[in-house]
Amino acid sequence: MIYARVAGTGSFLPGKPVTNDDLVARGIDTSDEWIAERTGIRARHLAEPDVTASQLAYEASVRAIEAAGCQPADIDLIIVATSTPDYIFPSTAALLQARLGIANGGAAFDLQAVCAGFAYALATAEKFIRSGSSKRALVVGAEVFSRILDWSDRGTCVLFGDGAGAVVLEASDRPGILATALHADGSHNPILCVPGQVNRGSVTGDPFLRMDGQAVFKFAVKVLSEVAREVAEQAGMPLDAVDWLIPHQANIRIMQATGKRLGLPMERVIATVAQHGNTSAASIPLALDQAVRDGRIQRGQRLLLEGVGGGFTWGAALLEF
Ligand code: UT7
Going along the chain from its start, the domains and CATH numbers come out as: 3-174 (3.40.47.10), 178-320 (3.40.47.10)
Task: Specify the residue with its C-alpha closest to ligand 1, atom 10.
Answer: 213
Model pLDDT, residue 18: 98
Closest CA to 108 of 131, 83, 87, 90: 90
- 248 in catalytic set: yes
Establish whether residue 115 lines the binding site of ligand 1, counting it when its CB lies within 6 angstroms of any ligand atom. Answer: yes
- 45 in catalytic set: no
* Cα–ligand 1 centroid distance for 70 (angstroms): 44
Number of the ligand 1 atom closest to the C-alpha atom of 114: 1
Closest CA to 126 of 236, 2, 228: 2
Establish whether residue 180 lines the binding site of ligand 1, counting it when its CB lies within 6 angstroms of any ligand atom. Answer: no
Model pLDDT, residue 85: 98
Task: Specify the residue with its C-alpha closest to ligand 1, atom 29.
Answer: 155
The list of the chain residues with pLDDT below 50 reads none
How far apart are alpha carbons 88 and 319 in whole angstroms? 33
Model pLDDT, residue 296: 98
pLDDT in tens, 11-29: 999 999 999 999 999 999 9
Model pLDDT, residue 312: 97
User: Which of the following is catalytic: 193, 248, 251, 276?
Assistant: 248
How far apart are alpha carbons 175 and 158 in whole angstroms? 40
Residue 123 one-letter amino acid: A
- 278 in catalytic set: yes
How far apart are alpha carbons 167 and 198 in whole angstroms? 32
User: Which of the following is catalytic: 115, 157, 188, 276?
Assistant: 115
pLDDT in tens, 163-177: 999 999 999 999 999
CB 170 within 8 A of CB 4: yes
How far apart are alpha carbons 265 and 252 in whole angstroms? 13
Model pLDDT, residue 169: 98
* Cα–ligand 1 centroid distance for 277 (angstroms): 14
> Greatest CA separation found in the chain?
57
